[in-house]
Amino acid sequence: MSQVRVEKQTAAVQQQAAPSKQKKAAAKVEVAPEQIKYANLLLYCSWAGIAILAITFALYLSGIAGSFIPPSQMPQYWGMSAHELLETTGAPSGWGWLTLINHGDFMNLIGIAFLALLTIVGYLTLLLPAYIKKKDIPYTAIVVAEILVLSLAAS
């Protein structure tokens, strides 16, 4: 009977010690400096992008920045396809929205474009140079492929 108690006590102590062992193992994980810089870029710039979205949306809602399409006319366009909407309103397609940046309904796209560019900027300025310097061919190839795919998707 006493051996059963000892085994139970030993098992209980081992279970209590397990989380501290896991914490020690987690503390030993090293993250490359370029990855920390990239994570920080995404963290701070994502908040900046959200702020840009909030500000431009407030400008749109308040009417300070006039609309290309008046909000009162929006319901008539809801059922249209994107192609029909562009033809009916005369709005530009692709990156042509930049020519209408002074309109509140297009001004909102600044924040979206900013957030979309963060990954490419981080890859080009932080990760790619670091991986090239380390001569880390697999990661360099992955980053180059990501940059190409994201750039082609944006065009």
Mean pLDDT of the chain, nearest integer? 88
Pick from 130, 101, 133, 103: which is nearest to 114 by CA?
Answer: 101
| Entry pTM | 0.73
CA 112 – CA 48 distance, rounded (Å): 11
Give the mean pLDDT of 76-93.
93
Domain ranges for the chain: 31-154
Which pLDDT value is given to residue 155? 77
CA 142 – CA 148 distance, rounded (Å): 10
Give the mean pLDDT of 15-30.
67
Q: State CA 70 to chain mean position distance.
A: 30
Asked if 127 and 143 count as a contact pair (C-beta separation under 8 A), the reply is: yes
Sign of the dihedral defined by the CA atoms of residues 20, 30, 116, 137, in that order: negative
State pLDDT tens for residues 86-145. 999 999 998 999 999 999 999 999 999 999 999 999 999 999 999 999 999 999 999 999
